[in-house]
């Protein structure tokens, strides 16, 4: 297994290093912080040993970061002087505090080992990759060298860029296409919903006032028992597993659920309803190996969206605030 992983890193790195140049590559910290990835992976193992469900928390932070002004750790920035950061946008109100703290803790360890070297953006990406692997998903090499942004997006910009759970397939495809991701990437990355939970307001519209015809009736009855009418406050609402069969294991059960009309969110089930994506759902439902292979490729692709490199960004000392003398947000 270890030999195979090493060969994989060597084979892929040779290709990508030629394509990408020195800014973002597979050996970015080889000289400046050679233990960077091992520190991240050991931290994640310890973190998930306490609560395996936090895999979903890290996946969500990663996705919500990359879809809003790129993979630059802007989602971690806190608002100052009355400014509302990305975390104040409704989709980010339920980012998991434990997962956010895990990133902070990893950053603290890396600052002791290699001060001012490893970016928060790289920590998010590496930690999420390792969390997926710890939950039973694939391990894959990931290029590093991302820098952190010095500012965050507005709440409105955040809302404009994060696809809501009510999106249909056309809206999802358009949203992903705007980020340079295709239909295959959409279906593969949606497989991250094989772990995690969703609050009632994100799917209760499929239950009332009328039942969504693309929802299995027995599954709908179970959901209705969990989400009572009027349970529409994210702060107090109940939640349920996105994958009702293996909620804490990263596998391809998500796709099998879609085949049985047991996708929790509209944006999930639409992938099987629409003929532009349904064959991909069927393929990943049949073969976990195919899903893992494509998920790895799409994850790497996602991790490169609008990255900052070189002098375009900075390496934050504290992930929640820009380095001293920098404006956090220009209104």
Active site residues: 64
Q: What angle do CA 249, 260, 223 make, to 5 degrees?
A: 75
Q: What is the DSSP string of 1-70?
A: -HHHHHHHHHHHHHHHHHHH-SSSBTTTTTTT-TTHHHHHHHHHHHHHHH-TTHHHHHHHHHHHHHTTTS
CA-closest candidate to residue 277, choices 260, 253, 255, 251:
255
Q: Please list, residue by residue across 293-318, b when 16 or more beta carbons sit within 10 angstroms of its beta carbon and e when fewer do.
A: ebbbebbbbbbbbebbbeeebbbbeb
As a whole number of angstroms, the distance between CA 96 and CA 62 comes to: 12
**Residues in contact with 279: Cβ distance below 8 Å, sequence separation at least 6, in sequence order:** none
Dihedral of CA atoms 190, 299, 51, 254 in degrees, nearest 10, equals 30
By three-state DSSP, how is residue 98 classified? Answer: helix
Say how many C-beta atoms besides its own lie within 10 A of residue 133's C-beta. 17
Cβ atoms of 305 and 71 closer than 8 Å: yes
């Amino acid at each position: 297994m270890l030999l195979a992983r090493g060969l994989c890193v060597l084979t892929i790195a040779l290709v990508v290093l030629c394509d990408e140049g020195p800014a973002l590559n597979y050996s970015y910290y080889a000289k400046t912080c050679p233990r960077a990835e091992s520190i991240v992976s050991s931290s994640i193992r310890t973190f998930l040993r306490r609560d395996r469900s936090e895999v979903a928390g890290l996946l969500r932070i990663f996705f919500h970061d990359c879809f809003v002004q790129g993979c630059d750790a802007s989602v971690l920035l806190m608002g100052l002087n009355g400014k509302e950061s990305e975390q104040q946008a409704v989709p980010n109100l339920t980012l998991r505090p434990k997962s956010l703290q895990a990133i902070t803790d990893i950053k603290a360890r890396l600052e002791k080992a290699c001060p001012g070297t490893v970016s928060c953006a790289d920590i998010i990406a590496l930690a999420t990759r390792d969390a997926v692997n710890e939950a039973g998903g694939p391990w894959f090499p990931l290029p590093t060298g991302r820098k952190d942004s010095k500012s965050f997006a507005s709440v409105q910009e955040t809302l404009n860029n994060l696809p809501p759970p009510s999106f249909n397939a056309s809206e999802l495809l358009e949203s992903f296409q705007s980020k340079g991701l295709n239909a295959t990437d959409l279906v593969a990355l949606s497989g991250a919903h094989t772990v995690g939970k969703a609050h009632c307001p994100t799917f209760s519209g499929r239950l009332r006032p009328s039942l969504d015809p693309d929802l299995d009736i027995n599954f709908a009855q179970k959901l209705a028992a969990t989400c009572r009418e009027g349970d529409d406050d994210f702060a107090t609402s109940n939640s349920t597993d996105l994958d009702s069969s293996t909620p804490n294991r990263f596998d391809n059960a998500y796709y099998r659920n879609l085949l049985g009309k047991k996708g929790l969110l509209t944006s999930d089930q639409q992938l099987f309803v629409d003929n532009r994506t349904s064959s991909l759902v069927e393929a990943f439902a049949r073969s976990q190996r195919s899903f893992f292979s494509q998920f790895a490729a799409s994850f790497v692709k996602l991790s490169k969206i609008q990255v900052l490199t070189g002098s375009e960004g900075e390496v934050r000392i504290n992930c929640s605030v820009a380095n001293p003398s920098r404006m956090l947000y220009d209104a």
